[in-house]
Amino acid sequence: MINFMKGIRLLPLAASFFAAITLNAEPLKVTVQLDWFAEPEHGGFYQAQAQGYFAEEGLDVTLIPGGPNAFVMPKVATGKADIGQADSTSTLLQQAEGLPVIQFAAVFQDDPSGLLVNANSDIHTFADLEGKTIVARPEWAFLEFLRKKLGLNFTLVPTNFSIEPLLGNKEGILQGYYIAEPYHVVKAGGKKPRFLGSWEVDFRAYAVLVTSRRFAREHPEELKAFLRAYIKGWRDYLEGDPTGAHALMKAAHPSNTDEFMMASRQLIIDGQLVTGRDGNGGPELIGRLDPERYAKQIAQLEELNILKKGKVTVEKAMTTQYLP
């Protein structure tokens, strides 16, 4: 009887031992391909990294900065990266082309890609773009939306990612991220440009995290763990002290100044990009995807013939199953 009691005391020890060797045997290596240079838009990742949240969840995460040619989608689709950051619209279009990826978490509740316009210009609404020259990524789906939905005609010049079109040239119109380019323009001596956001014409896209179907199939638990850490990272980055994240961002992209990073982060906070601009926004919304918004966007794109009908469904495009 004494032996039996001794044995029972050993049970929790044995259990955690087994748990240790099966669950936490070896942290899973996860590569994340970022869509641009390391910047506050990646605050969730870098804070989670700096604070050790990923490690706590048993994940060994490598953040790969991107740039003008980040090739996020092909890399994730072919498995060369496990997770990527992208915008929901272009992801939908590429999913329609057969790319085996799935959108599983939000980065921003509203994609901050829009059109930046010289402060001295007379362009105040999208309708004013008629006949003008826009410098943007040619494949930006929003342009097609503008052409078709608003019936606009404009000339497109491919961007070389410099803010030059906004300096000096009164007529300059540039695709930009509302939390980055305006800062650079002011820093370069220009006046703060006006921003035309896509949400102003009811084009609501997310900035999302995507992964390949195979990775999702093979590592569902790790994806959940990842999101736990990621969301915690965002919350900490926005509400707490971002020094850790900023140090990593600077290391990854030396041209980041503290001033820029703080300013950009502030814009994210003020714009409620991560927590949601709608009335129901808040920290609980971090990372959440709304299937209804997806249904609406798919319908929008199909109606304008930007997306071929039936090629993508909400179920095929996104999932909320990994969100906590």
Partner 1 sequence: MRRALTNILLPAATGALMIAIWYAIRHGLSEDFKFLLPTPGEIIESLDDNWSILGRAVYNTSQGALFGFGLAIIVSSLLALFMSLSSLVRVALYPYLMILQMTPIIIFAPILILWVGPGLKSVVIITFLICFFPLVVNTTQGLISSDRNLVELFKMYRASRWQEIRLLRIPSALPYFFTGLRIAAVLAPIGALVGDYTAGSSAGNGGGLGFQAIIYSSQAKYPALFATAAVTCILGFIFVAVVLSLSWLALHKWHDSYQRTDD
Span 52-81, contacts to partner 1 by CB under 8 A:
73-74, 77-78
Rg (CA), the chain: 22
Measure the CA–CA gap between 157 and 20, rounded to whole angstroms.
56
For partner 1, how many residues bind (rule: CB under 8 A)?
Answer: 22
Among 12, 98, 279, 310, binds partner 1 (CB under 8 A): 98
Span 208-247, contacts to partner 1 by CB under 8 A:
212-214
Span 242-301, contacts to partner 1 by CB under 8 A:
none
Check residue 156 for interaction with partner 1 (CB under 8 A): yes
Contacts of 256 (CB under 8 A, 6+ apart): 37, 38, 39, 246, 249, 250
Secondary structure class of 155 (helix, strand, coil): strand
Instruction: In angstroms, give the least distance from the CB of 248 to partner 1.
Output: 28
Among 48, 50, 83, 99, binds partner 1 (CB under 8 A): 99
Contact in structure between 183 and 260 (CB atoms under 8 Å)? yes
Instruction: In angstroms, give the least distance from the CB of 51 to partner 1.
Output: 34
Instruction: Give the strand order in the sheet containing 207-212.
Output: 59-64, 28-33, 83-87, 207-212, 101-108
Location of structure tokens 């010289």? 118
Measure the CA–CA gap between 92 and 89, rounded to whole angstroms.
5
Among 80, 132, 137, 296, binds partner 1 (CB under 8 A): 137
Instruction: In angstroms, give the least distance from the CB of 162 to partner 1.
Output: 10
Instruction: In angstroms, give the least distance from the CB of 73 to partner 1.
Output: 6
Report the interface residues with partner 1, using CB under 8 A. 73-74, 77-78, 90, 93-94, 97-100, 133, 137-139, 155-158, 212-214
